[in-house]
Amino acid sequence: MTTALKECKIPIIVGPTAVGKTMLSLEIASSLDAEIISADSRQIYRFMNIGTAKPTSLELHQVRHHFIDIRDPDQEYSAGEYGREARRCIEKLLAQGKQPLVVGGSGFYLQALVDGLFAPPLSDPHIKDKWRRRIAEGGREEVFLLLKKIDPHTASRIHQNDTQRIVRALEVWELSGIPISHYRKGTESAADFQPCFWGLDRERENLYALIERRVDWMMKEGLVDEVRQLLQNGYHENLNALRTVGYQEVIAFLQNRSSEEEMTSMIKMNSRRYAKRQLTWFRRDARIHWLSLDELSLQQAGDMVVKDLFSKS
Q: What is this structure's pTM?
A: 0.81
Q: Check residue 153 and give its pLDDT.
A: 86
Q: How many domains does the chain have?
A: 2
Give the count of alpha carbons within 13 A of 176, CB side only: 31
Residues 90 and 207 in one domain: yes
Give the domain-ending residue among 136, 170, 185: 185
Q: Check residue 188 and give its pLDDT.
A: 63
Residues 50 and 22 in one domain: yes
- Per-residue pLDDT tens listing for the chain (313 residues): 444 667 799 999 999 999 999 999 999 999 999 999 999 999 999 999 999 999 999 999 999 999 999 999 999 888 888 999 999 999 999 999 999 999 999 998 999 999 986 555 556 788 888 899 999 998 999 999 999 988 898 898 888 888 888 998 898 888 777 788 776 554 467 899 999 999 999 999 999 999 999 999 999 999 999 999 999 999 999 888 998 999 999 999 999 999 999 999 999 999 999 999 999 999 999 999 999 999 999 999 999 999 999 997 6
DSSP secondary structure of 137-152: HH-HHHHHHHHHHH-H
Give the domain-ending residue among 135, 162, 185: 185
Closest by Cα among 5, 13, 8, 7 to 288: 13
Residues 48 and 176 in one domain: no
Residues 222 and 261 in one domain: yes
Residues 17 and 106 in one domain: yes
Residues 227 and 101 in one domain: yes
Report how far residue 37's alpha carbon sits from residue 53's, in angstroms, rounded to the nearest whole number: 16
Q: Check residue 240 and give its pLDDT.
A: 83
Give the domain-ending residue among 185, 201, 230: 185
Give the structural domain span for 170.
Answer: 125-185
Q: Check residue 1 and give its pLDDT.
A: 42
Residues 48 and 165 in one domain: no
CATH of the domain at 49: 3.40.50.300
Q: Check residue 126 and give its pLDDT.
A: 83
Q: Check residue 207 and give its pLDDT.
A: 98
Residues 97 and 144 in one domain: no
Tens of pLDDT, residue by residue over 111-164, are 999 998 655 555 678 888 889 999 999 899 999 999 998 889 889 888 888 888
10 Å Cβ neighbour count for 64?
14
Residues 147 and 173 in one domain: yes
Report how far residue 129's alpha carbon sits from residue 126's, in angstroms, rounded to the nearest whole number: 5
The alpha helices in 74-192, defined as continuous H runs, are 79-95, 107-114, 125-138, 140-150, 152-155, 163-176, 180-185
Tens of pLDDT, residue by residue over 258-279, are 999 999 999 999 999 999 999 9
Pair 167, 140: CB distance under 8 Å:
no
Pair 67, 38: CB distance under 8 Å:
yes
Residues 71 and 151 in one domain: no
Q: Check residue 13 and give its pLDDT.
A: 98
CATH of the domain at 137: 1.10.20.140
Residues 196 and 246 in one domain: yes
Residues 221 and 266 in one domain: yes
